[in-house]
Amino acid sequence: MSVLVIGGAGYIGSHTVRLLMQEGYDVWVYDNLIAGHRAAVPEGCLIEGELADHLRLSQIMKEREVTSVVHFAAFASVGESVEHPAKYYQNNVVASHSLLTAMLAAEVREIVFSSTTATYGIPQAVPIREVETQRPINPYGFTKLVIEQMLRDYQHAYGLRYAALRYFNAAGASADGSIGEDHRPESHLIPIVLQVALGQRESVTIFGDDYPTPDGTCIRDYVHVDDLATAHLAAMRTLHAADGDGMQRVEVNLGTGKGHSVNEVVEACRRISGHAIPSVKGARRAGDPPELVADPSLAKQQLGWEPRYVDLDEIVETAWRWHRDHPQGYGQA
């Protein structure tokens, strides 16, 4: 099988690319390197380009006899999406439409898509099941929901098979510490806390300690990036096996089912790094739901997927190894 990974030079994409290669797939990465890193993918597989260029994309799919697409390319910062929704609708929705246009033209009928817990907004019940109503509370979540809806409609009308994988909080780095998380600017909790441990920041600000949670800080479900990679592989295989009358659409949560508060994450980072990591109390960050924890049982049932990393310390340990050994991430931009 020949797989085209859109946005494969990014954080979750690069870990998935590595796994697909280990499993023997022919892998091509299509990335504009705005958020991705050249050094995150093996030499020779990277094609630089824009999603808007659907004619070129369909040409690439035909030439390389692509059978499946895995689509990671998106802007994914909630706060920024509130300030610059146009950027998000353009880059996420319009660009994904262009990708689907290219797929139909090249007769590629399988796509695994990065969706998000942000499509649920503030859930009625936690842990969150897929029957939860999707009511996003920010433009980022809306863009992902629109793409999910496009996939449903394309499945119905054009027979496109798809998996929408709703990630909870991606975390950690490859076990050998060679690839990891490098967002610029960084906004995610674990990298920020570990940058304090490295002396790159003075302290971490805790965004709100008056939430209705046991210690007052937000609870999230941190899922290891290599476990997310495994889920993409499982989803791709499930869709491919479905060629004919099997599974045409998959919409599942990817999390561990365990929640950790911001304070617990900071504590884990202190334990693992051996640094004091000063923290200061700050105001709530707009758009943060108090608690997001997955019920991952449908992913287990439909994909046979279960996370290998269920212990927060183990997840943080892999992240720490990456940040400690690569204090500048992938280096100069």
The residues of the shown chain that bind ligand UFG, judged by CB under 6 A, are 76, 78, 116-118, 140, 169, 187-189, 192, 204-207, 218, 220, 262, 285, 288, 292
Helix axes 189-197, 262-273, angle to 10 degrees: 40
Residue 207 or 330: which CB sits closer to ligand UFG?
Answer: 207
Distance of CA 224 to the CA centre of its chain: 10
DSSP-derived letter for residue 2 is E
Residue 9 near residue 46 (C-beta atoms within 8 A) = yes
Residue 285 or 308: which CB sits closer to ligand UFG?
Answer: 285
Residue 69 or 225: which CB sits closer to ligand UFG?
Answer: 225
Residue 6 or 239: which CB sits closer to ligand UFG?
Answer: 6
Q: Closest CB to ligand UFG belongs to which residue?
A: 218
**Cα(27)–Cα(4) distance, integer angstroms:** 6
CB of 72 to ligand UFG, least distance (A): 12
CB of 210 to ligand UFG, least distance (A): 12
CB of 308 to ligand UFG, least distance (A): 21
| Bridge-based pairing state of the strands 110-116 and 161-167 | parallel
Which two tokens mark 93? 């929705």
Radius of gyration (C-alpha) of the chain in whole angstroms: 19
- What is the residue-wise DSSP string for 66-101? --EEEE------HHHHHH-HHHHIIIIIIHHHHHHH
CB of 279 to ligand UFG, least distance (A): 9
Residue 179 or 189: which CB sits closer to ligand UFG?
Answer: 189
195: nearest Cα among 1, 43, 327: 327
Which two tokens mark 226? 């290599």
CB of 154 to ligand UFG, least distance (A): 23
Catalytic positions: 140
**Cα(20)–Cα(185) distance, integer angstroms:** 28
Which two tokens mark 105? 């033209």
239: nearest Cα among 153, 148, 154, 164: 164
Amino acid, single-letter form, for residue 36: G
Residue 105 or 122: which CB sits closer to ligand UFG?
Answer: 122
**Cα(107)–Cα(227) distance, integer angstroms:** 30
Amino acid, single-letter form, for residue 180: G
CB of 44 to ligand UFG, least distance (A): 30
